[in-house]
């Protein structure tokens, strides 16, 4: 019986537990013995590698995060620790590995494969949705729904007071979550790294809207800009609006996985295991244009991610000061 393992690396996302459930069940269906690696690449080094059984995944479908935990590993960057990780896998007869993570995790896995020959398939898993080559990463839909609920709740309070609420959204240097959330929540302002905007250009338009009855504002700001407090001060000093900053933070990474993320988890894992069974030993399973396809590490991890131009155009039309409705 072939032996196959799975690990989670980097930030957790809702959808990882459904992926673990599918991994165990589908591995058995393929007559393979599944293993869990606990604590990501750190677990490979520390030999936290254990057989997985049906009882290990019972009832985890509805849970956010990851039952086998995740980690970022500085030690895995050193060859001596990668050699130790490989020996731990060999001792258990494991020759195939599924990795849920981001481009940094995949770059580490490519080097590991080159050095050891251990086959792997990566599954893009980050709420930032900033991995080149795939339109969708596991966990994004759940994160967007968490953000939607938070913004909707904040809007209830904003509409009860004459205030501006500045809501900081995760995403590192990628504005995907912020832009989609701003468009779908009806925000009045969206600031992301991909669309440079001088907020002072909003003043004339917003003053006109205030004269015509607007009595609160919702501004969505990407965390990568690090300027939520500056935006709040601008609303107070330039528009005379009392302001509040809400940093959603890690609430965006947790929560009950959405139906879409559960389905994507199943499909990602199925394709990953099928790829390894058929000899595709070094690839990332990507999702683009509503289809799954395999890409090399070079295509995925060595090229910068760029937001879809159609989405950026929509954002510019919606939020650029020059398009602001007086």
Percent of the chain as helix, strand, coil, to the nearest 5: 50, 20, 30
Please indicate, yes or no, if residue 176 is contained in any of the structural domains: yes
Per-residue pLDDT at 297 exceeds 90 = no
Residues 17 and 121 grouped into a single domain = yes
Please give the sequence-ordered ranges of beta strands (E in DSSP) within the chain, or none if there are none.
2-8, 32-37, 49-51, 96-101, 119-124, 163-169, 189-191, 217-222, 242-247, 282-288, 291-295
Residues 152 and 90 grouped into a single domain = no
Please indicate, yes or no, if residue 190 is contained in any of the structural domains: yes
CA atoms within a 13 Å half-sphere pointing along the CA-CB vector of 207: 12
Quick one: CA dihedral 287, 144, 36, 71, positive or negative? positive
Mean pLDDT across the chain, nearest whole number? 94
pLDDT tens per residue, range 59-90:
999 999 999 999 999 999 999 999 999 999 99
pLDDT tens per residue, range 36-55:
999 999 999 999 999 999 99
pLDDT of residue 121: 96
184-187-192-198 Cα dihedral, nearest 10 degrees = 150
pLDDT of residue 305: 80
Residue 10 CA to residue 294 CA, distance in Å, equals: 21
Residues 233 and 167 grouped into a single domain = yes
**Residue 122 and residue 101 in contact, taking contact as beta carbons nearer than 8 Å:** yes
pTM of the model: 0.93
User: What are 178's two structure tokens?
Assistant: 């912020």
Please indicate, yes or no, if residue 300 is contained in any of the structural domains: no
pLDDT-derived band of residue 302, with 50, 70 and 90 as boundaries? low
Per-residue pLDDT at 289 exceeds 90 = no
Q: Please state the φ and ψ torsions of residue 77, each to the nearest 5 degrees.
A: -75, -15
Residues 194 and 244 grouped into a single domain = yes
Residues 192 and 171 grouped into a single domain = yes
Residues 134 and 174 grouped into a single domain = no
pLDDT of residue 1: 83
Per-residue pLDDT at 140 exceeds 70 = yes
Residues 83 and 157 grouped into a single domain = no
Q: In what order do the strands lie in the sheet with 291-295?
A: 49-51, 32-37, 2-8, 96-101, 119-124, 282-288, 291-295
Residues 79-106, buried b or exposed e (16+ Cβ, 10 A)?
Answer: eebbebbbebbeeeebbbbbbbbbbebb
Catalytic residue among 128, 130, 141, 261: 128
**Mean pLDDT in residue range 291-319:** 82
Please indicate, yes or no, if residue 303 is contained in any of the structural domains: no
Please indicate, yes or no, if residue 170 is contained in any of the structural domains: yes
Residues 149 and 129 grouped into a single domain = no
**Mean pLDDT in residue range 25-43:** 98
In this prediction, what percent of the chain has a pLDDT beyond 70? 99
Q: Is 128 a catalytic residue?
A: yes
User: What are 89's two structure tokens?
Assistant: 């896998």
Residue 38 CA to residue 259 CA, distance in Å, equals: 26
Residues 86 and 132 grouped into a single domain = yes
Domain count, the chain: 2
pLDDT of residue 300: 80
pLDDT tens per residue, range 241-259:
999 999 999 999 999 999 9
pLDDT of residue 210: 94
Instruction: Determine which of 17-31, 124-138, 234-248, 311-325 has the lowest per-residue pLDDT on average.
Output: 311-325
Domain span holding position 127: 2-139+257-295
User: Residue 279 is part of a domain; what is its CATH number?
Assistant: 3.40.50.450
**Mean pLDDT in residue range 145-162:** 94
**Mean pLDDT in residue range 8-27:** 97
Per-residue pLDDT at 178 exceeds 80 = yes
Please indicate, yes or no, if residue 76 is contained in any of the structural domains: yes
**More reliable by pLDDT, 323 or 114:** 114
Please indicate, yes or no, if residue 301 is contained in any of the structural domains: no
pLDDT of residue 326: 66
Task: List Cα–Cα distances, 235 to 9, 229, 238, 239, 298, in angstroms.
Answer: 40, 10, 6, 5, 44
Residues 157 and 134 grouped into a single domain = no
Residues 214 and 314 grouped into a single domain = yes
Quick one: CA dihedral 151, 154, 159, 162, positive or negative? negative
pLDDT tens per residue, range 192-235:
999 999 999 999 999 999 999 999 999 999 999 999 999 999 99
User: Residue 149 is part of a domain; what is its CATH number?
Assistant: 3.40.50.460
Residue 298 CA to residue 38 CA, distance in Å, equals: 27
**Residue 176 and residue 128 in contact, taking contact as beta carbons nearer than 8 Å:** yes
Please indicate, yes or no, if residue 83 is contained in any of the structural domains: yes
């Amino acid at each position: 019986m072939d032996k196959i393992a799975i690990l989670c690396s980097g930030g957790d996302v809702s959808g990882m537990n459904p992926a673990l459930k599918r991994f165990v069940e589908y591995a058995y269906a393929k007559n393979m013995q599944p293993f869990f690696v606990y604590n990501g690449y750190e677990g490979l080094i520390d030999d936290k590698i254990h057989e997985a059984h049906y009882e290990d995944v019972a009832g985890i479908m509805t849970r956010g995060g990851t039952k086998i935990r995740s980690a970022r590993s500085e030690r895995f960057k050193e060859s001596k620790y990668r050699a130790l990780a490989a020996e731990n896998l060999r001792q258990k007869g494991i020759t195939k590995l599924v990795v849920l993570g981001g481009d940094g995790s995949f770059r580490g896995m490519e080097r590991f494969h080159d050095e050891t020959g251990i086959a792997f398939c990566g599954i893009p898993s980050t709420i930032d949705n900033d991995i080149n080559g795939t339109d969708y990463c596991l966990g994004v839909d759940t994160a967007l729904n968490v953000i939607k609920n938070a913004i909707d709740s904040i809007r209830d309070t904003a509409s009860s007071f004459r205030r501006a609420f500045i809501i900081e959204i995760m995403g590192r240097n990628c504005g995907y979550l912020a832009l989609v959330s701003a468009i779908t929540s009806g925000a009045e302002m969206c600031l992301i790294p991909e669309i440079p905007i001088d907020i002072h250009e909003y003043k004339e338009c917003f003053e006109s809207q205030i004269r015509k009855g607007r009595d609160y504002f919702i501004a969505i700001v990407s965390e990568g800009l690090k300027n939520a407090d500056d935006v709040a001060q601008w609303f107070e000093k330039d528009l005379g609006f009392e302001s509040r900053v809400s940093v959603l933070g890690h609430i965006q990474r947790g929560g009950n996985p959405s139906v879409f993320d559960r389905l994507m988890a199943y499909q990602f894992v199925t394709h990953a295991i099928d790829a390894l069974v058929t000899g595709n030993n070094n690839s990332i399973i990507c999702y683009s244009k509503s289809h799954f396809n395999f890409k090399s590490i070079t295509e995925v991890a060595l090229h910068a991610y760029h937001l879809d131009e159609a989405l950026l155009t929509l954002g510019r039309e919606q939020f650029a000061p020059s398009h602001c409705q007086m």
